[in-house]
Amino acid sequence: MRLTVDGQSFDIDADPDMPLLWALRDLIGKTGPKFGCGIAACGACTVHVDGQPVRSCSLPVGQVSGAVTTIEGIGTAGRLHPVQQAWLEEQVAQCGYCQAGQIMSAVALLDEVADPSDADIDNAMGGNLCRCGTYPRIRSAIKKAAALKTAGL
Amino acid sequence: MASVGKIARRTFLIGAAAVAGGVAVGYYYYRKPFPNPLEADLGEGEATFNPYVKIGADNTITIVAPRAEMGQGISTTLAVMVAEELDVGLDRVKVEHGPASYAYYNAAILEEGGPFAFFDESMTAQAVRSGLGVVGKFLALQGTGGSASTRDGFDKMRQAGAAARQMLIAAAAQKLGVAATDLETADGSILHKASGKSLTYGAVAAAAAAMVLPAEVRLKDRADWKLLGKPQKRIDMLAKVTGAPIFGIDVRLPDMLYGTVKMSPRFWSRPVKADLSRAEKMPGVIKIVPLETNYGHGFGIIAENTWAAFKAAEVIDAQWSDPEYPLSSAAISDVLKQALGTKGSVMRDNGDVDSAFADAPRERIVEADYTVPYLAHATMEPMNATAQLRDGALDIWCGNQAPTLVRQLCANAVGIEQDRITVHTTFMGGGFGRRVEVDYALCAALMAKETGGRPIKVTWTREEDMRHDAYRPAAIGKFQARLGDDGMPVAVDMKMASPSVIAGMLRRLFPSISPLGPDKTIVDGAYDQPYTIPNYRVSGVAAPVSIPVGSWRSVGSSVNGFFHEGFMDEIAAAGKVDPVEMRKTLMAAYPSAVKVVEKVAAMAKWGEALPAGKAKGMAFTLSFGSWVGEIVQVADTPAGIRIEKVWIAADVGTALDPGIIEAQLISAAIYGLSAAMGQEITFADGVVEQSNFHDFDAMRIFQCPVFEVAVLENFHKMGGVGEVGTPPAAPALANAIFALTGKRIRTLPLSKEVAFA
């Protein structure tokens, strides 16, 4: 089976029923997406398939035909995505475990809505659980990221 | 509070160890320093000054922050303590967790373990406090908990930085042939202004580390702080926004196997019949092995990938022995009620409560029964650990709150000496007290015996995690008050029953120590509050239910914050007194408490009229040395009750990083509100009924209120930060719902009675 992840092509030998998350983590070595629940209830595993946010813990790898983007594919330490930059400036993360999923949901939101309202944020981010309660800073960071993106930074 | 006589006779429980009659540890042992664990593992040209500082010849400065990072920002704040005194910026240093070592014992974690309220500064209380700090060293527990890390580290980590700086200056003075007093430091270098000569720390590190430790260490005055007291950029933030592999679950080693566990769904039960054949034949499964630990019994599944292990665990067909505890939530509740009817341990007894109630007219009596359920920690990162056993030596990688316990219990389980074990402590995807336990490490260590030397990463499913926690215990309380003519309470009698957290932890972590005396955590948050009421009694009873219970963010105060402050609100309502004014009057002897209440009331504009369909509730709890008041505003909406806004005022004594403190107070309040709104762990047939986030959810972003936080520094002792926002959250919400609806809800979660938007 062939999988394109973060612009790179991988040949993997996986049970087609294996969730994309475990193919990424155990077979390809992309540990950015996290395992949280296994039932698409917490969003920690969120990645993009052809730009659309999906819960990789509940998507069989055999059904993935598009290009997969993980947190590791949107920016690097030296060249952060505006959403990552905003997360850094707002000092969002506490334990940090859910944040890869939060950031991937936020990136998808901003790709669709350049200047999201509070209601847009509630709708797009409601599936991403954070047990540290970083929500107030997530909200501020999304607004800051929208401004950074609009300014072309 | 307790008198000297009572203390001498009483035995009491502290942290996770029982100490008879106080302290019996020799002064010599306390004074004797532990060896510096960094000496064993220095790099080429690297020098170490103490267990907290290493400096390389290339001027790489490494600070060891030996407390577990679970999101609370401790690795940043501890590093800042050293960096401040070492005179280097945070961007100039590398921060490591360091090895598991007794040198990193946490004294403060036990200091408040005695039967005294935080504000009790009597000689007895102070003597026991410092004695318990000594016990902390004696047990040498390297632990992160009790909101104790900054309090424990504040002096010793600053001293470590200052001592290293003094030694570096002394070495530079020798090398340059000038007086030490003519030298200054800045940004990792030592300058001689008169000659313009300078040396990096690295250039003199080796010589400096060989010098005699300074007899006296001078610390900076607060006015000279450059880093402490100001918000810092967290050292872990970049890794956390780029998805870096920093968690236990991200560990990857060459030739690594994967696994999971299937433990008995009934605690402590053994498999009486098991058919593993179907599971063993599943694709990718290598081996299934029995597991037996201090935590219970079950099976470990060793496989080629995590998914294969999960699938195999699902089809293990086993029958488990009957549990030793009541099978259902109703039966557990009966045991708690029975316990509440027995004689309790009295932890506060002011005045003469029995006489005060004996002649009370019926209309002056307020009575109430309160109940809270068991709760899971539900950290975002499910339990996991990676282990490798080679040539009789075990390496174990996991996020954990107590590396010396991981080492000790893994040594016993695997049957090797502790010095053959290396614990690699990773960042944690949440702790909240769950990772004080070591079950995940024991399972991985035992499974590593079965892999022929290959490393194995053992990840639990969310379902396994939810059903095998060390839960916040259920608790019930009976409350009575007698009001005076002015509506103010003249007598209160509070009694609560709950399974003992300390007894539970001893069984798992220190099975050779048997519990002595009452468990103070049963009454924490009720007996130690800064209220003066002439007749005031608080007693607790340990209920015999052996479902595993443990430390859940704020421990006993998570229960009693709700009980005590809900009941205070009832007293105010019955006496027709404003709850804020009532607290200010009852707290008059504790100015820090009054200032917190005044501050939070001013922030929330308490007393100003609200539009119809909105209301506010207030609560206050002193816990872990910090004084915290919270006000919650709720609104009635067509979709249910919406939590609109939360105001928090907290006196932490000394605020070392206001940005992190604000984040922690909000975090802890959300943790408490999440539980109050909808969480409970219930039992049927001896098995936990909840299994995942669909039936044990937490607050979501669309439910999250707006927060406003004020951090105060009035009290003269430093308090903790990580847990203190949790206790007042539930009662402030319940009190707001009472103000909104007139419905007094005394049982959590509130969702049993009202819907939330």
Q: What are phi and psi of B670, to 5 degrees?
A: -65, -35
Tell me which of B516-525, B555-564, B646-655, B703-712 is least confident: B516-525
Nearest neighbour of A132 by CB, restricted to B427, B667, B707:
B667
CA dist., res. B88 & res. A23, Å (int): 44
Task: Measure the CA–CA gap between B305 and A28, rounded to whole angstroms.
Answer: 11
Task: Print burial letters for B156-169: b (CB count within 10 Å at least 16), e (below 16).
Answer: bbbbbbbbbbbbbb
- For residue B215, what are the contacts with CB-CB under 8 A and spacing of at least 6? none
Alpha-carbon distance A31 to A61, whole Å? 16
Cβ-defined contact of A95 to B428 (cutoff 8 Å): yes
Rounded to 5 degrees, what are φ and ψ at B370?
-120, 155
CA trace torsion B217, B222, B227, B232 (10° rounding): 130
* pLDDT of amino acid B100: 82
Cis peptide before B511 (omega within 30 of 0): no
List C-alpha distances in Å: B170 to B159, B163, B182: 16, 11, 11
- Report CB contact under 8 Å: B236, A93: yes
What band does B21 get if pLDDT is binned at 50, 70 and 90?
very low
Of the pLDDT bands very low, low, confident and very high (cuts 50, 70, 90), residue B122 is confident
Q: Which residue has the tokens 């439910």?
A: B703
The residue written with tokens 């990083």 in the block is B657
Judging contacts by C-beta atoms under 8 Å, the chain B residues touching residue A36 are 380-382, 462, 693
Q: Residues 269-298, chain B: which have Cβ within 8 Å of A?
A: 283-284
CA distances from B610 to B198, B360, B615, B617, B740 (A): 65, 37, 7, 12, 11
Per-residue pLDDT at B156: 86
Q: Residue A33 and residue B239: Cβ atoms within 8 Å? A: no
pLDDT attached to residue B45: 85
b/e B544-573 (16+ beta carbons within 10 angstroms → b) = ebebbbbbbbbbbbbbbbbbbbbbbbbbbb
Whether B182 has a pLDDT exceeding 90, the answer reads yes
| Res B32 pLDDT > 90 | no
Average pLDDT, chain B: 91
Per-position DSSP letters for B13-36, written without gaps between them: EETTEEESSS----HHHHHSPPP-
d(CA B653, CA B719): 6
Instruction: Provide the pLDDT confidence category of residue B30 given band limits of 50, 70 and 90.
Output: very low
Q: Are B447 and B289 in contact (CB under 8 A)?
A: yes
Residue B585 has pLDDT above 70, yes or no: yes
C-beta atoms of B693 and A139 within 8 A: no
Out of A77, A122, A131, closest to residue B701 by CB: A122
In A, which residues are within 8 Å of B399 by CB distance? none
Share of chain B above pLDDT 90, in %: 81
B459 to chain A, closest Cα gap in Å: 9
Burial of B648 (0-12, 13-18, 19+ CB in 10 A): buried
Cross-chain Cβ contact A96/B429 below 8 Å: yes
**Distance between CA B164 and CA B52 in Å, rounded?**
10
Q: What does the buried/exposed string (b/e) look like for B494-521 if buried means 16 or more CB atoms within 10 Å of the residue's CB?
A: bbbbbbbbbbbbbbbbbeeeebbbbbbb
Q: Which residues contact B346 (CB under 8 A, 6 or more apart)?
A: B537, B538, B539
Q: Please enumerate in sequence order all residues whose Cβ is within 8 A of that of B338, keeping only pairs 6 or more positions apart, or say none.
A: B543
Report yes or no: A141 at the B interface, CB cutoff 8 Å.
Answer: no
Burial degree of B211 (CB within 10 A; 0-12, 13-18, 19+): middle
Please give, rounded to a whole number of angstroms, the shortest distance from the CA of A1 to a CA of chain B: 17
* B414 pLDDT higher than 70: yes
Residue B1 has pLDDT above 60, yes or no: no
pLDDT of residue B216: 80
A-B Cβ pairs (cutoff 8 Å, strict): 182
Best residue in B232, B253, B307 for a mutation probing chain A (most A CBs within 10 Å) = B307
Across the interface, do B71 and A93 touch by the CB < 8 Å criterion? Answer: yes
pLDDT score, position B470: 98
What is the residue whose two structure tokens read 């390496």? B395
Ranges of chain A with pLDDT below 70? 153
Looking up tokens 């399974």 gives B499
Residue B567 pLDDT exceeds 70? yes
More confident residue, A115 or B37: A115
Q: Which residue of B has its CA nearest to A42?
A: B693
The CA distances from residue B66 to B8, B97, B160, B735, in Å, are 35, 5, 13, 40
Cβ-Cβ contacts under 8 Å for B520 (sequence gap 6 or more):
B12, B13, B14, B113, B115, B347, B502, B540, B556
pLDDT at B2 over 90: no
**Distance from the B702 Cα atom to the nearest Cα atom in chain A, whole angstroms:** 5
Which residue from B minimizes the CA distance to A18?
Answer: B307
Q: How many CB atoms lie within 10 A of CB B155?
A: 13
A35-61: pLDDT as tens digits: 999 999 999 999 999 999 999 999 999
Please tell me the predicted confidence (pLDDT) of residue B118: 81
Q: Are B659 and B666 in contact (CB under 8 A)?
A: no
Q: Give the pLDDT mean for B428-444.
A: 97
What are the start-end ranges of the H helices in A19-94? Answer: 20-22, 71-74, 82-89
For chain B positions 656-685, those within 8 Å of chain A (CB to CB) are 659, 663-664, 666-671, 674
Q: At what angle do helices A99-112 and A118-125 cross, to 10 degrees?
A: 130
**What is the CB neighbour count within 10 angstroms for residue B482?**
22
Q: From chain B, pick out residues whose CB is under 8 angstroms from the CB of A44.
A: 380
| B726-750 confidence digits (pLDDT tens) | 999 999 999 999 999 999 999 999 9
Q: What angle do CA B415, B417, B423 make, to 5 degrees?
A: 100
How far is Cα A27 from Cα A23, in angstroms, rounded to an integer?
5
pLDDT on residue B266: 97
pLDDT of B140 reads 58
pLDDT confidence band for B26 (50 / 70 / 90): very low
> Is the confidence at residue B5, as pLDDT, over 50?
no
Q: What percent of chain B has pLDDT over 70?
A: 92
3-state secondary structure of B140: coil
pLDDT grade, residue B13 (50/70/90)? Answer: very low
Residues of chain B with Cβ-Cβ distance to A126 below 8 Å are 700-702
DSSP secondary structure string for all residues of B300-347? EEEESSHHHHHHHHHT-EEEEPPPSS-SSHHHHHHHHHHHHTSPPEEE
What pLDDT was estimated at residue B463?
Answer: 98
Which residues in B lie closer than 8 A to residue A123 (C-beta atoms)?
A: 702
Q: What average pLDDT does range B378-396 have in this prediction? A: 98
A88, A92, A131 ranked by CB distance to B430: nearest: A131
Return the higher-pLDDT residue of B12 and B32. Answer: B32
CA distance B89 to B187: 6
**How high is the pLDDT of residue B37?**
87
The residue of chain B with its CA nearest to that of A132 is: B667
* CA-closest candidate to residue B753, choices B680, B645, B692, B667: B680
pLDDT exceeds 80 at position B139: no
> Scanning every residue of chain A, which has its alpha carbon at the shortest distance from the alpha carbon of B283?
A15
Nearest to B692 among A41, A77, A133 (CB): A41
Residues 63-92 of A with CB under 8 A from B: 70-72, 75-77, 80, 84, 87-88, 91-92
Nearest by CB to B240, from A42, A99, A138: name it.
A99
Question: What is the residue whose two structure tokens read 């990676």?
Answer: B386
Whether B252 and A99 lie within 8 Å, measured CB to CB = no
* Contact partners, residue B639, CB within 8 Å, separation at least 6: B755, B757
- The secondary structure of residue A120, as a DSSP letter, is H
